[in-house]
């Protein structure tokens, strides 16, 4: 049973997780052990329904022997927690190798990349687009002959610049040959939202109900999330994403952002009657997974990273300190398990200074709070760093609140 096609047909959302595969083209390399860890952690977000909500693209076996072994390890050790996929070029030898890397595993998949536009077909296979697409049909048939238990999907590269009617015709043919998903890719990330919506609407309408479309949309113009939302609005339910947005060049939609929006704003994104989950996602797992991915890849979590960044749940100014609910779109502690944190910066009010001092074990009177506020602002501008670390402030407070003891220490 193809649980991903089943999920999509039932209106459930499936994430095609690309951080271990397309993420490698962002000049990152996940160890085999970490890929297993990440696959399991991503699946656990959906409990026992991980395989029905997550396709984990484990890698590109044709790269080298080590990559093949990494994919095989994920397939074996993450079996049952996600649907594991191997990715390959549209070549018979690569297909056979990819099939072998996931053979014998429940919910295993292979994604074959086939060029859809004339320009991409000439570059990738040196043939016209119709011939390249027919080659995709032949590869699906070959995959079905090799192993009927491994689902085979086809990614139409450069779909954003390809002929819609041509893609619809061959999407029908590929599905008829046994393909599970037909993935439309904005390979170069140049598509605008209106064009993305039109592509999925037209290809979907012309291909028919038997064809299950999926999205793979890059972020070169900063529109990966917007375009993915357009694909969802067109009825697509299998959508590619990547933890921290890690993928080739400027990346793609970030898994944590997309999942958060789908879980928290289901009706707005998918419609009032949508039922996108077999098991609703546990959003409290997102920050920890994101931190592990950042540690593994060296891709930093910044203060402006949405949902999981270092700025989430932090307060540094007076009015947000008094009324934090007015300055946040959700409660980070309740939704994500991120506790609030008051940081001392050059913008601090007396209330903020007093609160940070209390956290460090010092009770300040009004005059001490004003003095500490002046010290904090002077230090920030002198050092050129907005955030004042707790150790420095604690040292200052020791002298402020216990001047005799500080003098004795010297």
Question: Are 183 and 175 spatial neighbours (Cβ–Cβ below 8 Å)?
Answer: no
Indicate if the pLDDT at residue 409 is higher than 50: no
* φ/ψ of residue 183, rounded to 5: -100, 120
Min mean pLDDT across 138-147, 218-227, 393-402 is at 393-402
The DSSP letter of residue 389 is P
What is d(CA 221, CA 240) in angstroms, rounded to the nearest whole number?
A: 17
pLDDT of 410: 47
Sign of CA dihedral 174, 175, 178, 179: positive
Could you tell me where the DSSP H helices lie in 323-365? 332-336, 350-359
3-state secondary structure of 153: strand
What is d(CA 31, CA 29) in angstroms, rounded to the nearest whole number?
A: 6
pLDDT digits (tens, 9 = 90+) for 81-123: 999 999 999 999 999 999 999 999 999 999 999 999 999 999 9
pLDDT of 405: 53
What confidence tier does 408 reach under pLDDT thresholds 50, 70, 90?
Answer: low
Q: What is the average per-residue pLDDT within 182-204?
A: 97
pTM of the model: 0.92
Domains detected in the chain: 3-297 (3.20.20.70), 313-410 (no CATH)
pLDDT digits (tens, 9 = 90+) for 269-324: 999 999 999 999 999 999 999 999 999 999 999 999 999 999 999 988 888 888 88
Q: What is the average per-residue pLDDT within 40-64?
A: 97
pLDDT digits (tens, 9 = 90+) for 30-46: 999 999 999 999 999 99
Concatenate the DSSP letters of all residues of 121-137 into one string: HHHHTSS-HHHHHHHHH
3-state secondary structure of 252: strand
Indicate if the pLDDT at residue 354 is higher than 50: yes
């Amino acid at each position: 049973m193809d649980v991903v096609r089943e999920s999509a047909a039932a209106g459930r959302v499936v994430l095609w997780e690309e951080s271990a595969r397309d993420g490698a083209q962002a000049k990152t390399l996940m160890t085999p052990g970490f890929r297993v860890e990440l696959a399991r952690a991503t699946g656990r977000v959906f409990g026992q329904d991980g395989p029905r909500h997550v396709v984990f693209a484990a890698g590109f076996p044709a790269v080298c022997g080590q990559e093949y072994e990494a994919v095989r390890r994920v397939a074996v050790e993450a079996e049952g927690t996600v649907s594991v996929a191997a990715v390959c070029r549209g070549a018979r030898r690569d297909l056979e190798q990819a099939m072998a890397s996931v053979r014998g595993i429940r919910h295993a998949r292979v994604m074959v990349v086939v060029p859809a536009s004339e320009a991409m077909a000439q570059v990738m296979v040196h043939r016209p687009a119709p011939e390249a697409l027919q080659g995709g049909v032949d590869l699906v048939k070959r995959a079905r002959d090799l192993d009927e238990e491994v689902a085979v999907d086809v990614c139409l590269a450069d779909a954003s610049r390809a002929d819609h009617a041509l893609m619809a015709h061959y999407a029908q043919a590929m599905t008829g040959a046994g393909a599970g998903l037909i993935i439309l890719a904005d390979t170069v990330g140049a598509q605008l939202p209106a064009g993305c919506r039109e592509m999925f609407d037209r290809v979907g309408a012309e291909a028919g109900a038997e064809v299950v479309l999926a999205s793979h949309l890059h972020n070169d113009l900063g529109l990966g999330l917007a375009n993915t939302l357009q694909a969802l609005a067109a009825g697509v339910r299998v959508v590619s994403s990547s933890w921290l947005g890690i993928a080739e060049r400027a990346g793609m939609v970030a898994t944590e952002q997309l999942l958060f929006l789908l879980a928290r704003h289901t009706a707005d994104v998918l419609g009032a009657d949508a039922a996108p989950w077999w098991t609703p996602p546990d959003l409290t797992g997102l920050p920890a997974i994101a931190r592990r991915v950042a540690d593994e890849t060296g891709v930093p979590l910044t203060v402006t990273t949405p949902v999981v960044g270092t700025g989430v749940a932090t307060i540094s100014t007076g009015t947000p300190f008094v009324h934090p609910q007015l300055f946040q779109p959700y409660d980070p502690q309740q939704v994500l398990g991120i506790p609030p944190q008051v940081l001392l910066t050059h913008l601090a009010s007396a209330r903020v200074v007093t609160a940070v001092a209390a956290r460090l074990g010092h009770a300040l009177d009004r005059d001490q709070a004003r003095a500490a506020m002046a010290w904090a602002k002077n230090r920030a501008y002198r050092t050129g760093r907005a955030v004042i670390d707790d150790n420095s402030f604690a040292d200052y407070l020791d002298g402020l609140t216990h001047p005799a003891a500080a003098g004795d220490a010297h």
